[in-house]
């Protein structure tokens, strides 16, 4: 890349193109109605019609930056040099872990699964620190759910629990669940009752018809009381002391839930990241299922990153398990708490890490970050990040959905094909992972010929 890095922005760019029906992958809403104006000369997006404030930032801030193709121990290197070092690390590690995957394409995710299978490592995604608990709850309870279009067209009662869509998923309100007119909700919001349940008031609160404030850490108690009331059991008035919510408020909510035509829970991290975790999610999922004795009711976990749902799907179909798994014995095993990344790092189990499209050094608990610094870490990321600063090998890759095509899954499992806006000189995550995979395969084959003891379960 030439000194165009200085980026003398033309005030009236002559060379633009319009990319219609592009998909924003900043959050799990994965809105596919983006109309992008692309300044081809300066390799950037200048306008993102239909995007929310987060999507606009996503598109306009992902410009082409001049960065090294790879960094090894902080020094500039080529992608190929990085691949060699990365492959050596992974082929020789005893407890390699792979993590991230929520901000890349399914095509790349598949390659990561193949590598983990080969090296007998752990495979985990950002699900484990997002709706992993809801995935665990799903395994214990099941889930009554629906695509977002069903909610848009049918839901006359929507309950937002433990989330702040106005700031984290703005178009969940505007495109999918609150405002839009639908076949059976022709007046949009006027035909709907919106309930918001949280421990504090947020920017989302004003849109709710009913706001219920819960004492922190008491979601499970409230959900369980609701389940009891739905099933016709008695709950004492002391529920208010326990949870901060009056019995009459709960009774009123139950009445509304039972009598609506199509109800929907949309729930977030307020349930998964606090005391109770999967018990909270499980209680909500069970409540939604219970309500189907009276009316049609669904629940949907609101997913954070653009393709975390894709990661769930790819890892599930390839291995049988959605996250937190290990290939160490030559076949997939699943155990949250044992193979999930916060744990394998915090306990110091991992001796090498392959991080793809994620920044755990920024957001993980302190003990996990400290260990990540101690072990050789390989990172694939288009942008600078805290993890990039501590990685032994850091690859600069193209940004999915802006520079590359590929498949992503919206939070409701709807698969969508990305339309890139402009090209990038950097390779895609998929290309880098394929190169690493091929080199790891060679190295493992060599080890087999050399009779390395590690090889017992390795693939030739």
State which of positions 277-306 bind other proteins (CB under 8 A).
277-278, 289, 292, 294-296, 298, 304
User: Could you say whether residue 20 binds other proteins (CB under 8 A)?
Assistant: yes
User: Could you say whether residue 422 binds other proteins (CB under 8 A)?
Assistant: no
Residue 195 beta carbon to other proteins: minimum distance, rounded to whole angstroms: 18
- Given 45, 287, 368, 379, the residue binding other proteins (CB under 8 A): 368
Give the residue with the Cβ less far from other proteins, 82 or 324.
Answer: 324
User: Could you say whether residue 366 binds other proteins (CB under 8 A)?
Assistant: yes
Token pair 């850091």: residue: 394
CA-CA distance, 305 to 9, in Å (whole number)?
Answer: 31
User: Could you say whether residue 7 binds other proteins (CB under 8 A)?
Assistant: no
Give the residue with the Cβ less far from other proteins, 18 or 57.
Answer: 57
CA-CA distance, 324 to 345, in Å (whole number)?
Answer: 13
**Residue 53 DSSP label:** H
**Residue 182 DSSP label:** B
Going by C-alpha positions, the residue among 402, 399, 410, 403 that lies closest to residue 308 is: 410
Number of residues that this document lists for the chain: 460
User: Could you say whether residue 148 binds other proteins (CB under 8 A)?
Assistant: yes
Give the residue with the Cβ less far from other proteins, 84 or 385.
Answer: 385
**Spacing of C-alpha 172 from chain mean position:** 15
Site for other proteins in 257-276 (CB under 8 A): 261-262, 269-270, 272-275
Q: How far apart are the first and last CA of the chain?
A: 39
Contact 97, 344 (CB under 8 A): yes
CA-CA distance, 142 to 220, in Å (whole number)?
Answer: 17
- Given 45, 197, 230, 342, the residue binding other proteins (CB under 8 A): 342
- Tokens in use for 138? 């799903």
Contact 276, 217 (CB under 8 A): yes
Token pair 């306009």: residue: 60
- Given 43, 44, 152, 192, the residue binding other proteins (CB under 8 A): 152
Residue 342 beta carbon to other proteins: minimum distance, rounded to whole angstroms: 5
- Given 83, 108, 168, 380, the residue binding other proteins (CB under 8 A): 168
Candidates 5-13, 227-235, 382-390, 428-436; binding stretch for other proteins (CB under 8 A): 382-390
- Tokens in use for 54? 């987060």
User: Could you say whether residue 184 binds other proteins (CB under 8 A)?
Assistant: yes
User: Could you say whether residue 255 binds other proteins (CB under 8 A)?
Assistant: no
Bridge partners (DSSP) of residue 408 are 416
Report the greatest alpha carbon distance in the chain: 73
**Spacing of C-alpha 359 from chain mean position:** 12
Give the residue with the Cβ less far from other proteins, 85 or 308.
Answer: 308
- Given 16, 316, 447, 452, the residue binding other proteins (CB under 8 A): 316
Give the residue with the Cβ less far from other proteins, 39 or 107.
Answer: 107
- Given 99, 176, 220, 224, the residue binding other proteins (CB under 8 A): 176
Give the residue with the Cβ less far from other proteins, 243 or 341.
Answer: 341
User: Could you say whether residue 47 binds other proteins (CB under 8 A)?
Assistant: no
Site for other proteins in 102-121 (CB under 8 A): 106, 110, 114, 117
Sign of the Cα pseudo-torsion (216, 289, 231, 210, in order)? positive
Site for other proteins in 193-252 (CB under 8 A): 199-203, 205, 213, 216-217
Give kind and range of the element (H or E) at residue 431. Answer: helix 429-449
- Tokens in use for 217? 């850490």
User: Could you say whether residue 101 binds other proteins (CB under 8 A)?
Assistant: no
């Amino acid at each position: 890349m030439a000194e165009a890095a200085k980026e003398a922005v033309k005030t009236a760019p002559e060379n633009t193109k319009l990319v219609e029906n592009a998909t924003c992958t900043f959050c799990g809403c994965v809105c596919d109605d983006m109309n992008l104006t692309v300044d081809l000369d300066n390799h950037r997006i200048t306008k993102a019609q239909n995007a929310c404030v987060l999507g606009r930032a996503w598109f306009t801030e992902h410009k082409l930056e001049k960065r090294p193709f790879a960094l090894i121990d902080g020094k500039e290197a080529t992608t190929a040099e990085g691949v060699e070092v990365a492959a050596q690390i992974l082929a020789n590690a005893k407890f390699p872990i792979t993590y991230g995957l929520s901000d890349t394409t399914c095509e790349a995710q598949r390659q990561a699964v193949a590598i983990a299978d080969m090296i007998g490592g752990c495979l985990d995604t950002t699900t484990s620190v997002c709706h992993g608990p809801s995935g665990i709850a799903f395994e214990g309870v099941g889930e009554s759910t629906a695509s977002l279009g069903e909610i848009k067209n049918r839901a006359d009662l929507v309950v937002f629990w433990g989330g702040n869509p106005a700031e984290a998923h703005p178009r969940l309100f505007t495109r999918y669940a609150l405002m839009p007119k639908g076949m059976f909700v022709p007046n949009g919001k006027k035909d709907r009752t919106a309930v918001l349940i949280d421990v504090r008031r947020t920017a989302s609160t004003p849109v709710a018809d009913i706001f219920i404030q819960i004492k922190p850490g008491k979601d499970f108690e409230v959900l369980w009381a609701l389940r009891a009331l739905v099933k016709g059991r008695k709950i004492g008035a002391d529920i208010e002391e326990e949870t901060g919510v009056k019995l009459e408020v709960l009774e009123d909510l139950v009445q509304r839930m039972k009598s609506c035509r199509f109800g929907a829970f949309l729930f977030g991290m307020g349930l998964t990241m606090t005391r109770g975790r999967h018990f909270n999610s499980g209680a909500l999922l069970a409540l939604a299922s219970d309500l189907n004795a009276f009316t049609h009711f669904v629940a949907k976990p609101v997913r954070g990153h653009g393709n975390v749902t894709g990661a769930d799907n790819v890892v599930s179909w390839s291995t049988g398990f959605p996250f937190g798994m290990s290939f160490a014995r030559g076949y997939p095993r699943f155990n949250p708490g044992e193979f999930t990344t916060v744990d394998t790092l915090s306990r110091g189990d991992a001796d090498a890490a392959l991080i793809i499209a994620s920044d755990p050094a920024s957001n993980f608990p302190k003990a996990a970050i400290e260990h990540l610094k101690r072990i050789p870490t390989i990172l694939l990321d288009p942008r600078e990040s805290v993890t990039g600063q501590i990685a032994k090998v850091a690859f600069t890759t193209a940004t999915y959905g802006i520079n590359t095509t590929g498949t992503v899954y919206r939070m409701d499992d709807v698969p969508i094909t990305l339309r890139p806006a402009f090209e990038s000189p950097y390779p895609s995550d998929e290309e880098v992972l394929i190169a690493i995979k091929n080199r790891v395969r060679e190295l493992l084959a060599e080890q087999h010929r050399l009779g390395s003891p590690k090889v017992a379960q390795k693939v030739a």
